[in-house]
Amino acid sequence: MKLKIAVQKSGRLYDDSLKILKECGIELPAALNKLLNEAINFPLQILFLRDDDIPQYVEDGVADIGIVGENVIFEKGRNIQLLDKLGFGKCRLSIAIPRNQSYTGVDFLHQKRIATSYPFLLQQFLDEQKVEAEIHEISGAVEITTSVGLADAICDLVSSGSTLFSNGLKEAEVVLNSEAALISNKDLDDEKQLLVKKLLFRIQAVKKSRKYKYILLNVPNDKIETICSIIPGMKSPSIIPLTTEGWSSLHSVVHEDDFWNIIESLKEHGAQGILVAPIEKMIV
């Protein structure tokens, strides 16, 4: 019995999907087959598909779980379970308008023609905002529709905004913030659920480790208490006496969100020789 995971066969999610499996200790064959592959050291089969098809394959049970963008998950509205976000493939589904027009708020969109590959999510947004607009569903090259006169605005995925810029557009509204997520079929048997749990545990350890850094520093002994309150770590920091009288080495973990503020504060309180290292896995 093997768990079957659906992964995008090529495109923006491909590399990071395989990377997260690798970081979970799952080894894949060196030469990957185009459709189906078996992991070497975990009961897992990897099925490569177009990202749009992944929610349906997971709902139908052709794959047990899958990695796909939330934008696709919510647009398709399939009867599946979202298990966890994965921290990559980050983008926004946004409404953009020609750069030479001034945006006055959602009312600007009233009675406008908006081109998109995401008609469901766009309609939901327009309904919430009580805006009536005409949705033109197209499957690709959405960003050129305003310049060829097919639409007045577009609703498409954006990350850096450079594609919008080079097509003379500017972002006006964010409809959805999205990232890749792990989804699951809702009726997995107990054995498969156990494997999913095992995989999720590893994914969470990998995700957590990306948010934290390991930190080592030297502190004067009379500052240990203050510094421990700045970097309390997982339980509490480790303290090792230095051979230099009156000094200790302190080891802890810090969250990257507040990283630079913490470093400044440590320096203000007399910390020296601060070393910061990445963490590979973090199990709390």
Give min distance, CB of 227 to Mg ion, in A.
50
| Interacting residue with ligand ATP among 69, 153, 195, 205 (CB under 6 A) | 69
CA torsion through residues 78, 190, 87, 24, sign? negative
Select the span of 47-55, 74-82, 86-94, 248-256 touching Mg ion (CB under 5 A).
Answer: 47-55
CB-nearer residue toward ligand ATP: 179 or 251: 179
Q: Which CB, 23 or 52, lies closer to ligand ATP?
A: 52
**Among Mg ion, ligand ATP, none, what does residue 146 contact (CB within 5–8 Å per kind)?**
none
CA 98 to CA 172: how far, in whole Å?
10
Number of H helices, E strands in the chain: 8, 15
Question: Is the CB of 12 or the CB of 113 nearer to Mg ion?
Answer: 12
DSSP H helices in 67-189: 70-76, 119-128, 162-166
Residue length of the chain: 284
Min separation Cβ 253 and ligand ATP, Å: 29
**Binding at 65: pick from ligand ATP, Mg ion, none (beta carbon under 5-8 Å per type):** none
Q: Which is nearer to Mg ion, 39 or 121 (CB)?
A: 121
Q: To the nearest 5 percent, what fractions of the chain are helix, strand and coil?
A: 35, 30, 35
Ramachandran category for residue 233: left, alpha or beta (phi over 0 → left; psi -120 to 50 → alpha): left
- Output the six-digit token pair for 244: 């230099």
Q: Does 17 bind ligand ATP (CB under 6 A)?
A: no
CA 40 to chain CA centroid, nearest Å: 26
Contact stretch for ligand ATP (CB under 6 A) within 64-72, 129-137, 233-241, 252-260 = 64-72
- Which one of 91, 176, 250, 266 is in contact with ligand ATP (CB under 6 A)? 91
Site for ligand ATP in 169-228 (CB under 6 A): 178
Say how far apart CA 266 and CA 230 lie, in whole Å: 7
CA 172, CA 190: separation in Å to the nearest integer?
Answer: 46
Considering only residues 3, 7, 51, 86, which one is a binding residue for Mg ion as defined by CB under 5 A?
51
Kindly state the number of chain residues that form the binding site for ligand ATP, as judged by CB under 6 A.
Answer: 15
Residues of this chain that bind Mg ion (CB under 5 A): 51-52
